[in-house]
């Protein structure tokens, strides 16, 4: 470890030390309310993200654990920005609903640190460390609202499921180590694909990989490991749920991408299983969302389905699937955060926004926030001119280009189903009972930080839908560096 290494590590240090710093500020200064601490956390996260973009690495690998390549930097910046946005939402939210003081922003930064670690580790051990520091922070952030039993329930559920998935992951790790004798990602992955110089993978190694996928599948709520999502989404505080739904899933997918990136062809052994998982995830998520009346449950099922689309791209990797998957994750992060940001700004002292029927007429009473929510939903449905459309286009292109025609047809059919439930929310916003604005439900006034974040996100969603070119070429260049 040299000084140059430290220079490379600035984003990570900003996140982890910023988290400690926030705890100290909270402990010594009682004056600033939770909103100020959340803003401070957002600023630190923003700084970490910007530094990840700006600092050129001076060495490729650090301590056989971390790499500081473009791929890792990209995801470090992405998860820092997502933490920043979530904390902006949490700032206003914390004035209306008790989600604790300094611990919330501090944990968000720790979680972002874990996510960065996930995306930039070169060893399975590093992945495990990242996964754990992310998950532990998220458990607490879900249960942050101590006065709301649903929040506690969500935290507990996520904890139990998370513990199981960790167990699977750790055991899988052990089996892979037993089989291949290495924890280095690149080496163990090339054993899986029967790559050059690697011995043919044994049954034990395969079982280890299967368990690894189970563990990661839990985190990304892939079918059949998705059952926790609706309850956790419904109960948790909206800013936390938005953060979990985007940043944690995106960084776990970054790990998936590292697996696929290391090999020259789709993983012959596992791709059949993943094929079935992707199809069922899309079908189940979209169909279950049809009957939901609670907007957070609806978004939970929708996010399950969205992960199915990402998995389609992963299966189609490495030809073009990787960059499609990364673009999808970026677009998904923007639109999902936008939706949850609107929900969190609609959540008042009496409770969170629940039933979508509460939104009757809100489109005209609260035009800006409703517009942001509608843009997010239209994008989630994959309609132009939004990022969601370009993202879906990329997914279907990659799938068809790699010959997965049936998977694309499944995707299209389920996308048609999804249009209906996304539109339902828009219908309630603008078309049901809209005649009487005074009868619309009363929501809290918008706070400035969420307003800024929502504006930034909805502009991003539309901008990426019209001018995706630059981001697409950036992603194409980093996708080759996945490991």
Partner 1 sequence: MNGALTFIAFLPGLCALTLLFEKNPKVIRWLTLFVTSFELAICLLLYWLCWHGIFSGRTLFKIDHPWIARFGIHYALMMDGISLPLVTLTALLFALSVLVSWRQINERVSLFHIMLLFLETGIMGVFLSADLFLFYLFWEIMLIPMFFLIGVFGHGRRVYSAVKFFVFTITGSLFMLLSIIGVYIIHGRETGVYDFMLQDLAHTSASPMLSGILFLGFLMGFAVKVPLFPLHTWLPDAHTDAPTAGSVILAGLLLKTGAYGLIRVAFPLFPQAAAAFLPLIFTISVIGIFYAAWIAFAQKDMKRLIAYSSVSHLAYVILGIAVWNDVSLAGSVLQMVNHGITTGALFIMIGMMDERMHTRDISAYGGLWNRAPVMSAFFLFFILSSLGLPGLNNFAGEFLILTGVFRAHPWLCAAGFAGMVTTLIYLLSLAQKILFGPAKEYHGFNDLSGRELAVLIPLAALVVFIGIYPSAVLKLLDAPIRNMVNTATISSVGGVLP
Binding range to partner 1, per CB under 8 A, among 91-99, 226-234, 339-347, 401-409: 401-409
Whether the bond into 478 is cis, omega within 30 of 0 = no
Sequence-ordered list of residues with C-beta below 8 angstroms from that of 174, at least 6 positions apart, any chain: 208
x-or-dash string of contact with partner 1, 337-366, rule CB under 8 A: ---------------------------x--
Smallest separation, CB 230 to partner 1 (Å):
24
CA distance 150 to 242: 16
Contact 425, 369 (CB under 8 A): no
Contact 194, 187 (CB under 8 A): no
Size of the site for partner 1 (CB under 8 A): 33
Segment 373 to 392, residues that bind partner 1, using CB under 8 A: 378, 383-385, 389-390
Smallest separation, CB 399 to partner 1 (Å):
9
Sequence-ordered list of residues with C-beta below 8 angstroms from that of 103, at least 6 positions apart, any chain: 23, 26, 140, 144
Q: Indicate which single residue of 58, 60, 163, 420 sits in contact with partner 1 (rule: CB under 8 A).
A: 420
Tokens matching residue 339: 């939706």
From 398, 397, 401, 381, select the one nearest 389 (Cα to Cα). Answer: 381
Sequence-ordered list of residues with C-beta below 8 angstroms from that of 412, at least 6 positions apart, any chain: 396
Nearer of residues 350 and 435 to partner 1, judged by Cβ: 435
Nearer of residues 180 and 408 to partner 1, judged by Cβ: 408
DSSP class of residue 245?
I
x-or-dash string of contact with partner 1, 431-470, rule CB under 8 A: xx-xx--------------------------------xx-
Tokens matching residue 150: 């649903």
Q: Does 271 bind partner 1 (CB under 8 A)?
A: no
Q: Indicate which single residue of 125, 136, 206, 472 sits in contact with partner 1 (rule: CB under 8 A).
A: 472
Nearer of residues 350 and 438 to partner 1, judged by Cβ: 438
- Three-state SS letters, 166-200: HHHHHHHHHHHHHHHCCCEHHHHHHHHCCCCCCCC
- Reported as type and span, the H/E element at residue 66 is strand 66-67
Binding range to partner 1, per CB under 8 A, among 36-44, 245-253, 331-339, 422-430: 422-430
Binding range to partner 1, per CB under 8 A, among 54-62, 157-165, 307-315, 417-425: 417-425
Burial of 350 (0-12, 13-18, 19+ CB in 10 A): exposed
Q: Does 21 bind partner 1 (CB under 8 A)?
A: no
Q: Does 409 bind partner 1 (CB under 8 A)?
A: yes
Segment 272 to 331, residues that bind partner 1, using CB under 8 A: 323
Q: What angle do CA 414, 419, 422 make, to 5 degrees?
A: 125
Smallest separation, CB 382 to partner 1 (Å):
9
Q: Does 430 bind partner 1 (CB under 8 A)?
A: yes
Q: Indicate which single residue of 397, 455, 459, 463 sits in contact with partner 1 (rule: CB under 8 A).
A: 397
Nearer of residues 86 and 408 to partner 1, judged by Cβ: 408
Task: State the CB neighbour count (10 A cutoff) for residue 149.
Answer: 10
Smallest separation, CB 413 to partner 1 (Å):
8
Smallest separation, CB 293 to partner 1 (Å):
16
Task: State the CB neighbour count (10 A cutoff) for residue 33.
Answer: 12
Burial of 28 (0-12, 13-18, 19+ CB in 10 A): exposed
Smallest separation, CB 384 to partner 1 (Å):
5
Helix axes 321-346, 448-466, angle to 10 degrees: 150
CA distance 74 to 72: 5
Nearer of residues 35 and 389 to partner 1, judged by Cβ: 389
Smallest separation, CB 156 to partner 1 (Å):
38
Phi, psi torsion values for 290, nearest 5 degrees: -60, -35
Q: Indicate which single residue of 209, 225, 309, 396 sits in contact with partner 1 (rule: CB under 8 A).
A: 396
Smallest separation, CB 223 to partner 1 (Å):
22
Nearer of residues 156 and 423 to partner 1, judged by Cβ: 423
Smallest separation, CB 320 to partner 1 (Å):
9
Contact 155, 142 (CB under 8 A): yes
Q: Indicate which single residue of 273, 416, 442, 448 sits in contact with partner 1 (rule: CB under 8 A).
A: 416
From 423, 416, 412, 419, select the one nearest 279 (Cα to Cα). Answer: 412
Smallest separation, CB 416 to partner 1 (Å):
5
Phi, psi torsion values for 16, nearest 5 degrees: -75, -45
Please report, as ranges, the residues that interact with partner 1 according to CB under 8 A.
323, 364, 378, 383-385, 389-390, 393-394, 396-397, 400-401, 408-409, 412, 415-416, 419-420, 423, 427, 430-432, 434-435, 468-469, 472-473, 476
């Amino acid at each position: 470890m040299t000084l140059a290494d430290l220079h490379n590590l600035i984003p990570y240090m900003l996140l982890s030390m910023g988290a400690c710093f926030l705890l100290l500020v909270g402990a010594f200064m009682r004056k600033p309310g939770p909103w100020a601490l959340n803003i401070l956390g957002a600023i630190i996260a923003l700084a970490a993200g910007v530094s990840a973009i700006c600092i050129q690495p001076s060495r490729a690998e650090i301590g056989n654990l971390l790499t500081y390549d473009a791929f890792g930097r990209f995801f470090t910046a992405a998860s820092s920005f997502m933490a920043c946005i979530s904390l902006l939402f949490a700032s206003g939210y914390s004035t209306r609903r008790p989600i604790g003081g300094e611990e919330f922003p501090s944990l968000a930064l720790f979680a972002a640190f874990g996510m960065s670690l996930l995306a930039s580790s070169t060893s399975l051990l590093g992945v495990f460390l990242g996964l754990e520091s992310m998950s532990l922070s998220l458990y607490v952030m879900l249960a942050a609202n101590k006065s709301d039993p649903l929040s506690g329930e969500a935290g507990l559920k996520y904890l139990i499921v998370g513990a199981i998935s960790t167990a699977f992951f750790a055991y899988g790790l052990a089996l892979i180590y037993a089989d291949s004798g290495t924890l280095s990602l690149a080496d163990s992955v090339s054993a899986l694909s029967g790559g050059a110089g690697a011995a043919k993978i044994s049954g034990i190694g395969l079982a280890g990989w299967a368990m690894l996928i189970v563990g990661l599948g839990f985190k990304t709520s892939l079918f059949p490991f998705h059952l926790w999502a609706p309850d956790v989404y419904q109960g948790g505080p909206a800013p936390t749920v938005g953060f979990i739904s985007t940043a944690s899933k995106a960084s776990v997918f970054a790990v998936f991408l590292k697996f696929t990136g290391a090999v020259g062809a789709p993983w012959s052994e596992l791709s059949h299983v993943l094929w079935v998982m992707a199809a069922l995830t899309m079908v189940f998520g979209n169909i279950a969302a049809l009957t939901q009346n609670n907007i957070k449950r609806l978004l939970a099922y929708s996010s399950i389905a969205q992960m199915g689309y990402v998995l389609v791209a992963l299966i189609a990797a490495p030809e073009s699937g990787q960059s499609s998957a990364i673009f999808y994750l970026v677009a998904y992060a923007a639109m999902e955060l936008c939706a949850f940001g609107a929900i969190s700004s609609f959540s008042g002292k009496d409770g969170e926004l629940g039933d979508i029927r509460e939104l009757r007429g809100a489109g005209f009473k609260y035009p800006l926030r409703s517009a942001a929510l509608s843009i997010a939903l239209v994008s989630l449905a994959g309609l132009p001119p939004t990022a969601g459309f370009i993202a879906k286009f990329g997914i279907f292109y990659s799938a068809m280009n790699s010959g997965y025609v049936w998977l694309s047809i499944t995707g299209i059919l389920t996308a048609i189903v999804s249009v209906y439930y996304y539109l339902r929310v828009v219908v309630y916003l603008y078309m049901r009972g809209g005649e009487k604005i005074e009868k619309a439900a009363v929501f809290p006034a918008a706070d400035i930080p969420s307003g800024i974040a929502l504006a930034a996100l909805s502009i991003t969603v539309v901008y990426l839908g019209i001018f995706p070119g630059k981001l697409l070429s950036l992603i194409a260049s980093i996708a080759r560096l996945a490991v």
